[in-house]
Structure 1
Amino acid sequence: MKIERTIQVAVAENCALGESPVWDDQQRCLHFVDILSNKIYTYWPDDETSQVTQLDEMVGAIVPTKNLGFLAALPSGIYRLNLPGGTPQILVQPEPGNLENRFNDGKADSSGRLWIATMAQSEQQGLGNMYVVYPDLTFKMVLEKTTISNGLDWSEDDKYFYHVESDDAQIRRFDYEKLQGGILGKTTVVEFPDEEGVPDGMTIDSEGMLWVAHFGGGCVTRRDPSNGEILEKIELPVKQVTSCVFGGEDLNDLYITTASKGLSDSELAYQPQAGYTFVIKNLPFTGRPANKFG
């Protein structure tokens, strides 16, 4: 089913690589990053204003914490900062000395642990890893030799962990071990054919369905994780769709980040809103509040 809804521009900035959207239920705003421009954007929908926090390094992901701050994943480590406008303070670096890698997507689980993956800045295969960082800042590796680790989330009952590997265009499901924070087994639940683009960021709605951004495919789809079936499809006016999250007072507004990196002048002329952040309001679906680290 194709959703006939009005797609609105939330933030009219041509982000090189918009990513990691997070709805902030305390400040009633959206935060997201432009990885390649070292920026974190904060957008308040009530008055349609935004503010930029400029960092000195690429920021792969941001994750809210229980003390109202945020974690920011930079190549040199995991930092804490307040948004907007805060100064990063280093907490931990799971891959010390490896500045060839950077962090990519990350989220907190329901127990307050950070799940975060690295990838080679060159995007070379098999050089990334996924880590779990505990609130006491100890950490362990849970996946190794990943390439472009992207969307991750958990089922409502914490039975399953879902993970996107963009390099081979698959979404995989793992059995989730909540007590210690581990994953077991591996089942491919969706394989993306070339014409659909590459799966990127992902979120899960209150019914347990996956919402997946199609990088190169120009859309977001809602999928049943039990069989991979496409239940809904939202087409965007740009091709490189990177991630999505539910926000708003009732968590039924879908915010979608996109990218402009790598596009030629002719491609940018065809899709001048590449890199913009969009919103579709008042969907008949709701998301879940973001888990917080700590």
Structure 2
Amino acid sequence: MQIDVLLDVKTTLGEGPVWDVEQQRLYFIDSMDGRVFRCTADGTELRAWDVPGKIGSMALRKDGKGAIVSLDKGFWLLDFATGDCELLHDPEPDMDTTRINDGKCDRAGRFFAGSMDTMEEGPKGALYRVDPDLSVTRVEDGIICSNGPCFSPDDKTFYFTDTWTGEVWAYDYDIASGAISNRRTFVKVDTSNGGAADGATVDAEGCYWMALVYDGRLCRFAPDGTLEREIQMPVKKVTSVQFGGPDLDVLYVTSMAKPPLPRFPGDGVQRGSLFKITGLGIKGVPEPRFGG
């Protein structure tokens, strides 16, 4: 196994890596600076798009021309050709202290993303589902900080975490309807070193990978919740993970250069970098596209 800095971009809050298997490109975001980045597997051909607000996550659209993005004020459609953003729906128009955060698509083209309390203190957030017909449905309430949504390879389990509960949850998932049910604790997160559950992905073996932000660790959990391995990263504020590369065997890891609140710790010189991990001997699964 080898850990390298792919891009030293110093993202204020790097998040949400997405590998495009069709174009062989990696997308990732800077949440606080409101920017979407794209590069090749080796970090070349870097370009960026500005969006009109803080961005929590993105998913590529099926037409290949753009993405659905979750911004501080709702769900928007980003056109890569023009750089324009069109508001789709703001599910929390009267809430000034929340913003939409992490999100992922299922293999039926639905986009799941949840909101968070910007001070990360109170359960003001919720989890939403955006269907291919562009309708928006609230599916969970009482969330402090939505993070880590992803789906098992067999489409039967949905994973999700409220960062500050110290737990990752698993739900039964109905791919036909998009319904979640039977929430239970999948794993209890080790927060003894100040870390918390952040972005996540699921590999081809059905194992759940999680970035433990503020603790500098990546954790891989087997489908039964057993901790299978840990990887210590060069920086503490790792934020999200995604498999990519031509063979889907490179693990890309985002990080933040500056913590969003003063109570969170600083970091080393490589803070804010985009990392790649090779030699794991593990492959990911293609990231689904939004069907709308």
Q: TM-score range by the shorter chain?
A: over 0.9
Shift of 1:253: 0.4
**Where do 4+ consecutive residues of structure 1 move more than 3 Å?**
82-85
Offset, 1:91 = 1.8
Equivalent residues in 2 for 1:251-266, closer than 5 Å: 251-262=248-259
For the 8 Å contact 1:52–1:84, the answer to whether it is kept is: no
**Aligned-partner Cα distance in 2 for 1:220–1:10:** 17
CA contact (8 A) 2:220 2:230 kept: yes
CA apart distance, 1:95: 2.2
Distance in 2, matches of 1:93 and 1:139, equals 9
Partner of 2:16: 20
Aligned to 1:225: 223
| Distance in 2 of aligned mates of 1:260 and 1:181 | 36
Alignment counterpart, residue 202 of structure 2, candidates 201, 204, 210: 204
Residue aligned with 2:289, SS:
coil
Offset, 1:134 = 1.0
CA distance in 1, matches of 2:81, 2:15: 16
Map 1:162-173 to 2 at 5 A: 162-173=159-170
TM-score, normalisation: structure 1: 0.92
- For the aligned residues, what is the CA RMSD? 1.8
* Separation of aligned partners in 2, 1:237 and 1:65: 33
Check conservation: 1:39, 1:54, Cα contact below 8 A.
Answer: yes
1:60 is aligned to 2:63:
no
On the 8 A contact 1:119/1:129 being kept in 2, the answer is: yes
Q: Does structure 1 residue 181 correspond to structure 2 residue 169?
A: no
CA drift at 1:137:
1.4
Conservation of the 8 A alpha-carbon contact between 1:52 and 1:85: no
**Cα distance 1:6–1:59, how it changes in 2: closer, same or farther (>3 A)?**
same
Q: What does 1:87-236 correspond to in 2, within 5 Å?
A: 87-195=84-192, 197-226=195-224, 228-236=225-233
Structure-2 change in CA distance of 1:94 and 1:199 (3 Å): same
Q: Which amino acid aligns with 2:211?
A: A
Unaligned runs of 5+ in 1: none
What is the CA-CA distance between 1:24 and the residue it aligns to?
1.4
**Deviation of residue 41 (structure 1)?**
1.4
Structure 2 gaps, min length 5: none
Superposed displacement of residue 85, structure 1: 6.6
CA distance in 1, matches of 2:164, 2:45: 36
How many residues are paired up?
A: 286
Residue in structure 1 matching 2:26, options 19, 26, 30:
30
1:65-89 CA distances to partner (integer Å, 9 max, x unpaired)?
1111211111222111134772212
Deviation by residue 1:119-160 (Cα, 9 ceiling, x = unmatched): 122223210000111111112111001111100111111111
| Distance (Å, rounded) in 2 between the aligned partners of 1:125 and 1:53 | 32
* Percent of paired sites with the same residue: 34
Q: 1:55 to 1:122 in 2, by over 3 A?
A: same
Higher helix residue share:
1
C-alpha contact (below 8 Å) 1:10/1:48 kept by paired residues = no
TM-score normalized by the length of structure 2? 0.92
Which has the larger displacement, 208-217 or 274-283? 274-283
Q: CA deviation at 1:98?
A: 2.7
Mapping 1:233-272, distance limit 5 Å? 233-262=230-259, 271-272=268-269
**SS in structure 1 opposite 2:116?**
strand
* Paired letter, 2:181: L
Q: Which residue of 2 aligns with 1:81?
A: 78
